[in-house]
Structure 1
Amino acid sequence: MNGMSDVRLALHSQELEAAQERTLSMPGETRWSLFRRRRHTRKALLTLTREQLLDVGLTAEQARHEGLKPFWRD
């Protein structure tokens, strides 16, 4: 590897760490608690009625798309 590649890898690594810290939005939240929260909220989206979805501003298709995403995906 040349020096430029090393710099790019270091910067990319820092960007990934910063993005991960932003994702863990609740104080003291671990990666696993984030995954549990995502799983819980996504499963809940699949059970909402059309009126409840309207209240939160989502269509049934949007809720289904988000609800079926794996917990590890942002």
Structure 2
Amino acid sequence: MGGMSDVRLQLLGKELESGQQTSVFSAPQGLGRWGLMLHRWHTRRALLQLDDDQLRDIGLSWEQARTEGRKPCWKD
């Protein structure tokens, strides 16, 4: 998933549980609008392809991964 640390993914899991909308991840520097959307599309697709053991390793439930993974690429 592009070098995202387990700590950052666990923070995302806590954010999704609480319903907060803060930015946990930051995209690589220098991406334009289209590059950012492409980056989100790739990482969200990768999230949807993780199995239960991998999701458990990063501290996310299947429901949380599905919610984040199904967001459109233009949404933060």
- What is the TM-score of this pair, normalised by structure 1? 0.63
Whether contact under 8 Å (1:24, 1:31) holds in the other structure is: no
Q: Which amino acid aligns with 1:43?
A: R
Structure (1 or 2) with the greater helix fraction: 1
Structure 2 counterpart of 1:55, which letter?
D
Q: Secondary structure at the match of 1:28?
A: coil
Q: State the match for 1:61 in structure 2.
A: 63
Unaligned stretches of 5+ residues in structure 1: 1-22
Q: Runs of at least 4 residues of structure 1 off by over 6 A?
A: none
The 1-side partners of 2:41 and 2:27 are apart by 16
Counterpart check, 1:37 vs 2:39? yes
User: Which structure's relative contact order is higher, taking Cα pairs within 8 Å and 6+ residues apart?
Assistant: 2
Q: Does the aligned pair in 1 maintain the 2:38–2:73 contact within 8 Å?
A: yes
Where does structure 2 lack aligned partners over 5 or more consecutive residues?
A: 1-24
RMSD: 1.7
How many residues in Structure 1 have an aligned counterpart in Structure 2? 52
User: TM (normalized to structure 2)?
Assistant: 0.62
Note the C-alpha offset of 1:26. Answer: 2.3
